[in-house]
Amino acid sequence: MKNVSPILMVAFLATLTFTLATEVESEFRKTAANVSGDGAFTKLLGDGRRLFSGQSVAMADVYLHSGFYPSIFDSVENKGVKVLETSDDHDDHDHHGHDEHDDHDAEHEKAMSFMGPPRDPLDAFIRNFRVTQHSHLEAGEQREVLPWLKLAIELDPQAIETYIATSYWLRKNLKHTEDARDVLREGIRNNPKSYALLYEMGNIYKRDDKNDLKAHNIWLAALRFWREQSADDKAETLDWLGKIADSLADLELDAGNFDQAIQYFELAKTVSPNPAALQKQIDELKAKLPSKTSPAPLLSVPN
Amino acid sequence: MKTVFAIASVVIKELYRRKDFYVLFVLSALITIAAGSINFFKDMVMVRYVKDICLLLIWFSTLIIAVITAARQIPSEKENRTIFPLLSKPVSRGQVIAGKFLGCWLAVGVAILMFYAFFILVTAARGGDWQLVAYAKSIGLLWMMVGVVIAMTLLGSVVFAAVSSNATICLVVIIGILFLGEHLNKIARRQAEPTGSITYTVYYLIPHLEIADVRNLLVNNKPMPSLKACVKAALYDGAYATTFLYFTWLIFRRQRLNT
């Protein structure tokens, strides 16, 4: 075979690669369009990535408790350690008593006292090298949990609690309301019928934007999606109905729509752990009703 | 002692020549820098996850380097038949063991220092605190723990026939101790007798390598153990390393070398 000049060979190969690239690239675009939105983890691990999502949330929990966290062996001894809890209800005038919050904190402390006294001298020695005090991140340090929560979302886009927790920490501790909203939007995109995400989104509009009308509409959508569930699912998520109804009632109350507020309070009462407090509020509102005859037109009760 | 240092210096030079350290260092650096360059919610102050990932890679790389370096020392001398000229000099088998151990230990110590230098730079770049005393204690604890790992692997290298089997078995044992070691007492308490007592005995017998794992303290900016506790841990590791080296010598001194 006659010797070919290396320059010609390189030129030929470059032309060949360029030609093939134009062909392959268009094919790749078509494929990429079908799987748009899939991150690196989806490409690498497929659906198996969901297995690691819980681990990522657990890492966020470990950080939140400054490294003081039960291992799987401790968890067996102390069941029910649930630590990554996020709720705006702590800050607001909800219908749970203070005693209930105190009980919750005491329960949390009890759950986190998994370590107990040293079991033997070696155990006592090893504890010199471990985090042995229960404390939570504070003063903006809560931001440290966010990378793991973001990773957990990437790994399992259907895990509703992760979106809620991420948006909570962004909003409450970092005051990144827009980022929190984006996280919830992403969650709603991936879980369009999630009443929990809609409820949290409504919270942002109500508490941060003071946009009652938008909050009202979003919470109504949340209520509709909650009602569209199967009977079994409804039975398991009654607390969400309580939250949504409670929030809607508060909105109506603020708008002076006592009639509608009473209806929502009645709905919340059916699932409330403290129905007596709600009944008291309903009675007070009913007493005010005759003097308030023309409700504000802003908010309306759904059919 | 001069002989021991001479053998040790050869081992250190061997680590420079081989690519293991460089590959693991570059890999660790790339992963850490990639993780550190991710911008979560436009907030670049988050540093703990970067520290966590970097320390995990340091531990992983250090253990791999320690086991691989120690596992091939005696078998390669035998395979290349360089053990004969080495022992024909006024060098005892005990000195060979001590020299090999010291060389591996010092070489891995240098590797740990380089890894930690990178770790400190990355942490500082992300706005982390300068916890130099904490870093020093962490390095010291890791280095002492690696001494036990190297001694254990050297023992394995005179017991098992192949380097690969020795390295695999040692890594499985080391990872097992790191994950389960400190929990064996809890497991033992839930077991029926005599399994419970056997598990508790194993708990006391194994070298608790996980003692040196203070990554959780470093990552979460918690106070490090006292100097007294660190010295005790160093003595604990020293005792185990000596025991393993003694058993290595017991086996190696009567071992036929021309097999």
Whole-model pTM over 0.90: no
Alpha carbon separation from A34 to A26, A37, A225, A285 (Å, rounded): 13, 9, 28, 55
Q: Token pair for residue B60?
A: 């992983």
pLDDT at A80: 43
Q: Looking at residue A204, what DSSP letter applies? A: I
Q: How many CB atoms lie within 10 A of CB A129?
A: 23
Phi and psi, residue A21, nearest 5°: -60, -40
Q: What does the pLDDT average to over B226-237?
A: 93
Inspect the interface and report whether the beta carbons of A126 and B185 lie closer than 8 Å.
no
Q: Token pair for residue B123?
A: 């942490």
**Strand, helix or coil for residue B243:** helix
Q: B148 vs A270, which has greater pLDDT?
A: B148
Q: How far apart are CA B40 and CA B126, in angstroms?
A: 13
What are A281-299's pLDDT values in tens digits? 777 777 776 654 555 444 5
Give the mutation candidate from A75, A129, A153, A172 for the B interface (greatest B CB count, under 10 A).
Answer: A129
Q: How far apart are CA B48 and CA A134, in angstroms?
A: 18
Q: What does the pLDDT average to over A74-87?
A: 54
pLDDT at A97 over 50: no
Cβ–Cβ under 8 Å, residues B188 and B128: no
Phi and psi, residue B40, nearest 5°: -90, 115
What band does B141 get if pLDDT is binned at 50, 70 and 90?
A: very high
Of A61-70, A268-277, B132-141, the one with minimum mean pLDDT is A268-277
What are A162-213's pLDDT values in tens digits? 899 888 888 887 788 888 898 899 999 988 888 889 998 888 888 888 888 8
Q: B182 vs B255, which has greater pLDDT?
A: B182
pLDDT at B106: 92
Q: Looking at residue A130, what DSSP letter applies? A: S
What are B168-191's pLDDT values in tens digits? 999 999 999 999 988 898 888 888
Q: Which helix (H) or strand (E) holds A102?
A: helix A98-111
How far is B52 from chain A, CA to nearest CA, in Å? 10
The DSSP annotation for B9-28 comes to HHHHHHHHHSSHHHHHHHHH
User: Position A120: which residue type?
Assistant: D
What band does B142 get if pLDDT is binned at 50, 70 and 90?
A: very high
Calculate the dihedral angle through the C-alpha atoms of B176, B180, B184, B189, rounding to the nearest 10 degrees.
-130
Q: How far apart are CA A213 and CA A220, in angstroms?
A: 11
B50, closest residue in chain A (CA to CA): A147
What band does B237 get if pLDDT is binned at 50, 70 and 90?
A: very high
Angle at B37 between CA A57 and CA B32, to 5 degrees: 75
pLDDT at A28: 74
Q: Residues of B with CB below 8 A from A131's CB?
A: 216-217, 220, 222
pLDDT at B80: 81
Phi and psi, residue B43, nearest 5°: -125, 110
pLDDT at A26: 75
What band does A303 get if pLDDT is binned at 50, 70 and 90?
A: very low
pLDDT at A102: 57
Cβ–Cβ under 8 Å, residues B163 and A96: no
Establish if A33 touches chain B: CB-CB under 8 angstroms: no
Phi and psi, residue B46, nearest 5°: -65, 120
Residue B43: strand pairing partners: B40
Q: How many CA atoms lie within 13 A of A34 on its CB side?
A: 6
Phi and psi, residue B19, nearest 5°: -90, -10
Alpha carbon separation from A178 to A199, A201, A202, A205, B92 (Å, rounded): 16, 11, 13, 11, 72
Q: What does the pLDDT average to over A257-280?
A: 79
Q: How far apart are CA A177 and CA A172, in angstroms?
A: 8
Establish if B177 touches chain A: CB-CB under 8 angstroms: no
Establish if B226 touches chain A: CB-CB under 8 angstroms: yes
Where does chain A show beta strands of DSSP type E? none
pLDDT at A250 over 70: yes
What band does B242 get if pLDDT is binned at 50, 70 and 90?
A: very high
Q: How many CB atoms lie within 10 A of CB B160?
A: 17
Inspect the interface and report whether the beta carbons of A122 and B204 lie closer than 8 Å.
yes
Inspect the interface and report whether the beta carbons of A129 and B212 lie closer than 8 Å.
yes
Task: Report which of A118, A117, A185, A172 is spatially closest to residue A140, judged by C-alpha positions.
Answer: A172
3-state helix, strand, coil in chain B (%, to 5): 80, 0, 20
Cβ–Cβ under 8 Å, residues B97 and B248: yes
pLDDT at B126 over 80: no
Residue B40: strand pairing partners: B43
pLDDT at A212: 83
**Strand, helix or coil for residue A93:** coil
What band does A52 get if pLDDT is binned at 50, 70 and 90?
A: confident
Task: Report which of A222, A215, A203 is spatially closest to residue A164, judged by C-alpha positions.
Answer: A203
Inspect the interface and report whether the beta carbons of A74 and B233 lie closer than 8 Å.
no
Q: How far apart are CA A239 and CA A225, in angstroms?
A: 14
Inspect the interface and report whether the beta carbons of B211 and A170 lie closer than 8 Å.
no
A174, closest residue in chain B (CA to CA): B43
Q: What does the pLDDT average to over B11-17?
A: 84
Q: How far apart are CA A89 and CA B68, in angstroms?
A: 55
What band does A34 get if pLDDT is binned at 50, 70 and 90?
A: low
Which of A111-125, B39-53, B197-211: highest mean pLDDT?
B197-211
Q: What does the pLDDT average to over B12-30?
A: 84
pLDDT at A208: 84
Cβ–Cβ under 8 Å, residues A226 and A244: yes
Q: How far apart are CA B46 and CA B39, in angstroms?
A: 9
Cβ–Cβ under 8 Å, residues A278 and A302: no
Q: What does the pLDDT average to over B45-68?
A: 89
Whole-angstrom Cα Rg for chain A: 27
Of A101-110, A122-131, B216-225, B237-246, the one with minimum mean pLDDT is A101-110
What are A219-228's pLDDT values in tens digits? 888 888 888 8
Cβ–Cβ under 8 Å, residues B216 and B222: yes
Distance, first Cα to last Cα, chain A: 86
pLDDT at B28 over 90: no
What band does B235 get if pLDDT is binned at 50, 70 and 90?
A: very high
Q: Residues of B with CB below 8 A from A174's CB?
A: 41, 43
What does the mean pLDDT of chain A come to?
77
